[in-house]
Amino acid sequence: MTTKKKVGWSDLKAQLVGLEKTELLQLVKDLYSSSKDVQQFLHARYAMGGGDVLASYKDTITQWINPSDLRKPLSVSKAKKAIVDYKKAVGEPQGLAELGVFYCEEVFVSLDRCSSEDESFYDSLCVMFAQALGYIQKLPSTEQQPYLDRMWQVRLKGNEIGWGVWDDFEQAWEAAGLPERE
C-alpha cells in the first residue's frame, strides 16, 4: 500500500527556485487570469488601480452582509473572508481597522432594512466587534480616535437589538480597556 506524500510550500518552492524570470512571469500571469480573488490580491498587494485599495474589500463585505437585493442570502463567512484576504494581501493595521469597523457598521445598516433571526449572525458581529477593537488598538494612539468614535456608535446600536449583543459589546469594550463615555 502506498501513501501519498502531502505536498506543501517547501515542495513548490523547490520547483520555483529553478525557474527563469520569464517562466515566473508567465506563472503569475496564469494565476492572475485564473481567479478574481488572485487579481484582487495582486492589485491590493501592489496598490494598483489607484484610488482606494479597500474599496473592493468593502464591496465584498457589503455584498454579503448588506446586499442591495434583499432576496440574496447573507453570508457572514464570505464577508469575513474579505478581511482575511486583505490581511494576507496587504495587512496594514489601518486597513484592518477600517474593514473591521466597516463590517460592524454594515451589519447595522442591514439590520435597519430587515431583521435576522440567525443567532450565529449576531455571534459573528460580536466576534468582529472585538477583533475591530483589537485592530484599532494596534494603530498609533494618534490614529485611533476616529475609529473608536465609530465603534462607540456601533456599540450604542448594539443595545437596541438583543441577542446578548450589548453584553458582548460591553465585555469587549472593557477588555480593551476603553473608557466609558457620556
Based on the structure, what is the number of domains in the chain? 1
Q: Which residues contact 131 (CB under 8 A, 6 or more apart)?
A: 100
Residue whose C-alpha is closest to residue 83's, from 67, 64, 61? 61
CA–CA separation, 132 vs 149, rounded Å? 12
Residue 83's pLDDT is what? Answer: 96
Q: Assign 136 a pLDDT band (cuts: 50, 70, 90).
A: very high
Percentage of the chain lying above the pLDDT 90 cut: 47
Domain enclosing residue 128, as ranges = 52-175
CB-neighbour burial class of residue 93 (10 A; exposed 0-12, middle 13-18, buried 19+): middle
How distant, in Å, are the alpha carbons of 4, 31, 55, 100 from that of 82?
33, 19, 11, 10
The answer as to whether 180 is a domain residue is no
Answer whether residue 20 is part of any domain: no
Residue 117 has pLDDT above 90, yes or no: no
Q: Is there a domain that residue 119 lies in?
A: yes
The verdict on residue 146 lying in a domain is yes
Report which listed range, 1-5, 48-52, 132-136, is most confident: 132-136
Residue-level pLDDT at 50: 62
Position 85 in a domain? yes
65 inside domain: yes
Q: Read off the pTM.
A: 0.80
- Looking at the domain assignment, is residue 25 inside a domain? no
Q: Is 75 helix (H, G, I), strand (E, B) or coil?
A: coil
- Reported as a single tens digit per residue, the pLDDT across 9-44 is 887 787 778 878 787 777 777 777 777 777 777 766
Cell of 138: 494596534
